[in-house]
A and B are shown apart, each in its own frame.
Chain A
Amino acid sequence: MPAHMLGRTALPLFVACAVVAFGASDTRADETCQSPYMPKITGEEEFVYVWTLGIKGLGDGFDKVVTIDVRKDSPTFGKVVDVDSVGGRHEAHHGGFTDDRRHFWVAGLSDSKIFIFDVATDPSNPKLVKTIDDFTEKSGGIVGPHGAYALPGRVMISGLSNTARDGRTGLVEYSNEGEYIATHWMPTAESTQGAEVEKIADGYGYDARVLPRKNVMLTSSFTGFDNYMRPLGELVQDAEAMKRFGQTMVLWDFHARKPKKVFHVPGVPLEVRWAWGPHNNYAFTSTALTSKLWLVYEDAGTWKAKEVADIGDPSKLPLPVDISLSADDRMLFVDTFMDGMTRVFDVSDPHKPKQIYEKKIGSQVNMVSQSWDGRRVYFTSSLLANWDKTGSDDEQFLKAYHWTGSELTPRFEIDFRAEKLGRPHLMRFGSASLYTN
């Protein structure tokens, strides 16, 4: 680099600024399952936003964002402090913040509506500011908007299906203002889009996560509308339908938005969690139907995928759902829906995970979110309206715990049925400190 590019005073200035910034760094806390493009919360999280699926006849019966106060000195600690119904039931599922963390996007899998909440004006009281109701039309036929993943000035939404309801899907980009930008279809056998295919390119989608420093995005795969909206008990009896589940993960050139490699990961790989360490070029996922932990990793410049551990007893179909990797990349929480368990794996050696702890959270459990310092962990119960258990096993809760490093100890819990709220699913953390400093 020519010397003039730094300017005559630039380098000393640059180093000096870095020192100042270093000194200003302090304790930070945040859930670990977020986009790396977002700012982090300083101190403990203050609120947990829960995207909740309405239950007919329970309260207003509508999908809603439920805000829970988790400020430890607050008189309303552990209580619901705000409820924002969006009207109707939309199969509330996932969502996420924009990169400036000012807006919370949540989506419905059944009618493909996306609801955008302002969480910056008053973090204790989110407000619905926009509804996107033409997602399918704008995207060219994608249905089932799933995650909302922050990119600079944009949101990446992974779809689950299409208007044919068979599961071929893609990624859809919107501006932070809620305007459609582009659709990127998943590679299929008919259209691999130039990607190297290990065994099959099935076109299903689920999660999408980016490792910026490697310019790679990793996507996973689930199933189509006809399957995810169908009662689980009925679905598992349909052998043909059970063949229509994802068995691939796709590695993308993120900048170009082009698929590079389609890994064969049988058994429905769901959540993708990149490691955080600056030298840790790998991601974990769990496969729902085969109950395995998989590792996608870079090996001498080549990206590979391999299974690295069983989750519980795969023969009993515990159905791994959400996973959460600690900020230091040493602990991986794995929730299994059917037995209501969370299991903690020591993944210090990502190639050889070892289970070190397990605890039954409830009759069913789905999502898990942990704070950045790893000391607080939150669980919710619902998977999908038609897949949740029935009768007394259909517990609906948020449970909060302390994690000591070796044990979960209770902090508080909220019974979403008793509170007439519905089925709690995705959790995201909020704090006024993000907007006031």
Chain B
Amino acid sequence: MYRHALRAGLLIASLAWAPGMVAAHDGHAHGSPQPAPSTGYAYPLARPGTYALPAIKRAAGGSVLDEQGHRRDLADILRGRITVLAFIYTRCGDVCPTASMQLAALRDIAGRDLRGADRLQLISMSFDPDHDTPTVMAEHARQWRDGGRGPRWLFVTAPDRERLAPILSAYGQSVMPQPGPPGGPNLLAHILRVFLVDRSGMVRNIYSIDFLDPQLVLNDVRTLLLQEGRSPAPEARLR
């Protein structure tokens, strides 16, 4: 066990975290504006490999569009790598930017510290296909990914709502229209869920904003890599 550092980015997140943002999405709202959490993610973490990450369910596939507009099956993208998959939308007013910031931090740490970083990938998938076209996602990727280094980070969207619906249903990601600010676009109410998927396509952890700590997620990734090292490759087990 060790105590990991409270990063500067998390201080920023805490500032923005305080009042309504988590209120709308993650259940930490308590009726009125609250001071920021006192400690951020400053709690001890168990060492990688000392705990279990039991399979929760199979990670679903489905038709998605990459940043170039090419149609792909999400299941194909997931296959062969450990994946951290976040459902977001680019116009999100609260937790999605926090999630993207944490994924950026994860990518940065993994790029520097993780042996086998090429076996990890990040995916940000939009649930707002009306607005988040491949072009928009490419621009979003430019903001969050480009200029950094680390494991690959894909930004995908759905071709349309019809093809999006079964994906969201399979992941249990509920999304509801929500009136935006006067004169502005409607927003989408959602609970932030980020999924850790192993190389065989099984969901091994689900993070809310509370536990989307880059170091914690990286420990989970390391735990999966350690398990893979002790057993046949997942692909081989499936045969």
Binding site for B on A (CB under 8 A): 1-2, 4-11, 13-15, 17-18, 20-25, 27-29, 34-40, 99-100, 102, 151-154, 173, 175-177, 179, 181-182, 212-216, 253, 255-258, 276-279, 281, 327-328, 372-373, 435-437
Contacts and interface: CB of A to CB of B under 8 A. Distances in A.
Contact of B93 (A7, A20, A28, A212): A20
B181 A213 contact: no
A128 B126 CA distance: 32
A21 B41 CA distance: 22
B148 A4 contact: yes
Contacts of B46: 253, 255-256, 258
B5 to A, nearest CB: 10
Nearest to B178: A437
Closest 5 CB pairs of A and B: A25-B20, A18-B16, A212-B210, A256-B46, A153-B206
A8 B147 CA distance: 9
Contacts of A35: 27
Contact of B35 (A99, A100, A215, A279): A279
A378 to B, nearest CB: 18
Contacts of B33: 22, 25
B236 to A, nearest CB: 24
Contacts of A9: 143
A102 B207 contact: no
Given A13-B143, A39-B27, A151-B206, 19 more contacts: A5-B148, A6-B9, A7-B104, A21-B19, A21-B23, A21-B24, A21-B93, A24-B181, A27-B31, A39-B189, A39-B191, A99-B191, A152-B206, A179-B56, A255-B216, A279-B35, A327-B31, A437-B176, A437-B179
A373 B16 CA distance: 24
25 contacts: A1-B8, A2-B148, A6-B104, A7-B147, A9-B143, A17-B94, A21-B21, A23-B181, A29-B31, A36-B210, A37-B210, A39-B191, A102-B174, A152-B208, A153-B195, A153-B206, A255-B51, A256-B46, A276-B30, A278-B37, A278-B38, A281-B38, A327-B31, A328-B30, A437-B176
Contacts of B133: none
A29 B23 CA distance: 12
Interface of B: 7-9, 12, 15-21, 23-31, 33-41, 43-46, 50-52, 54-57, 92-94, 97-98, 100-101, 104-105, 107-108, 142-145, 147-148, 172, 174, 176-179, 181, 189, 191, 193, 195, 203, 206-208, 210-211, 216
Contacts of B191: 37, 39, 99-100, 152
Given A7-B143, A37-B208, A14 B37 contact: no
A15 B93 CA distance: 9
Contacts of A153: 56, 172, 193, 195, 203, 206
Residue among A36, A214, A256, A435 facing the most chain B CB atoms (10 A cut-off): A256
A2 B30 CA distance: 33
Contacts of A17: 16, 21, 92-94, 97
Given A7-B104, A212-B210, A279-B38, A24 B9 contact: no
A349 B97 CA distance: 37
A199 B100 CA distance: 45
Nearest to A102: B174
Nearest to B11: A1
Contact of A21 (B20, B38, B40, B176): B20
Contacts of B51: 255-258
Contacts of A278: 34-38
Given A177-B172, A213-B37, A258-B46, A15 B16 contact: yes
B9 A18 contact: no
A276 B208 CA distance: 17
A39 B20 CA distance: 12
A40 B32 CA distance: 12
Residue among A5, A34, A102 facing the most chain B CB atoms (10 A cut-off): A5
Nearest to A3: B147
A43 to B, nearest CB: 12
